[in-house]
Amino acid sequence: MNKISKIIGWVLGIVGIVVGVWCLLKGEASNEGPVNLLLRYSYFLLIAAVVILLGLAIIQAAKNNPKSLLRALLVIVGIAVLVAIAYALASGDPVVNVKNQPSATWLKLTDTIMLLVYILGGAAILSIIVGVIRNAITNK
């Protein structure tokens, strides 16, 4: 299993580098093809990471403790609710100073992912602060 994950990681990394270099070389203001490809590749990686993470969490929960499978499913439902809320709050407004606007679907999806990054980044910072305070109190 470890070899498979290393191979997949190397392949995705090489594809990402190739696509990134291609976008830098071909990315002009009037040429939106490379940028769209890079965005779609990024969306693919994000979705693949989420699906793999959730799948591994369910498998690990079922393997270690079948009773904790319900807790893992509740976490997945919570994530789905968070994504639904971010999608509902995403504006999908047009990009400023861009001649060829992406479709409304892409604008909404991009805004949704940006909102999720903001929410998860804030939650990460908050959890670090709470962890430091908790450790300071318990290690007095």
d(C-alpha 124, C-alpha 118), whole Å: 10
Tell me whether residue 39 is in a domain: yes
Number of domains in the chain: 1
Tell me whether residue 121 is in a domain: no
Q: Residue 137 — pLDDT band, cuts 50, 70, 90?
A: very high
pTM (two decimals): 0.60
pLDDT given for residue 135 in this prediction: 93
Domain residues for the domain of 31 are 1-65
Alpha helix positions (H), the chain = 2-26, 33-64, 69-89, 104-138
pLDDT given for residue 17 in this prediction: 84
Tell me whether residue 2 is in a domain: yes
Q: pLDDT at residue 5 above 90?
A: no
Q: Which two tokens stand for residue 53?
A: 């993470």
Tell me whether residue 54 is in a domain: yes
Tell me whether residue 26 is in a domain: yes
Tell me whether residue 89 is in a domain: no
Query: Which residue is it, tokens 């047009």?
Result: 94
Average pLDDT, the chain: 82
Q: Residue 87 — pLDDT band, cuts 50, 70, 90?
A: very high
Tell me whether residue 20 is in a domain: yes
d(C-alpha 18, C-alpha 38), whole Å: 10
Q: Residue 72 — pLDDT band, cuts 50, 70, 90?
A: confident
What pLDDT digit, counting tens, does each position of 10-61 carry? 887 888 788 777 777 766 555 566 667 777 777 787 788 778 777 777 887 7
Tell me whether residue 53 is in a domain: yes
